[in-house]
Amino acid sequence: MREVVLSADALRDVEDATSWWDEHRPDARGLVVDELAAALDHLGEHATTLPVFQRIGSSFVVRRYLLPRTRRHIYFTVEADRVLVLAVWGSVRAVLPRLRARTRT
C-alpha cells in the first residue's frame, strides 16, 4: 500500500470545497471529508488500476478518480512509494487545474 500525500494546492482545494459544501449543503455537512477519506484509502491500494487521464511530457502521468456524491475529481500521480494528490477539483468546472504546477507538497 502506498502512502497518499496531498499537495499544498490540493489541501487548499479540500478546504475550499469543505467550506463551500458546509455553507451551501447544510444537510450534508461533512460529506466532502467523508467521501474524500474513503477515496484516499482506495487510492493507497488501487491507484495504479485507475485509468490514465493525461500524460504531460514523457514521464508525468496524471490519473483521475471521481467522487460521485460531491461531484469532484481527485487528480493524482503514482510514484514508487506514494500517491501524490495534485488537485481535488469540481467535476462540473469548465476549466481544469494546472496539474503540472501543483507538484509541491
Global confidence as pTM = 0.87
> H/E/C letters for each residue in the chain?
CCEEEECHHHHHHHHHHHHHHHHHCHHHCCHHHHHHHHHHHHHHHHHHHCCEEEEECCCEEEEEEEECCCCEEEEEEECCCEEEEEEEEECCCCCCCCCHHHCCC
What is the domain extent for residue 54? 3-102
pLDDT digits (tens, 9 = 90+) for 47-101: 999 999 989 887 889 999 999 999 999 999 999 999 999 999 887 766 666 666 6
Compute how many other C-beta atoms are within 10 angstroms of the C-beta atom of residue 7.
Answer: 22
pLDDT digits (tens, 9 = 90+) for 17-30: 999 988 998 888 88
| Distance in angstroms between the alpha carbons of the first and the last residue of the chain | 19
**d(C-alpha 43, C-alpha 58), whole Å:** 23
Q: What is the CATH number of the domain that holds 38?
A: 3.30.2310.20
What is the domain count for the chain? 1
Strand partners, 84: 5, 77
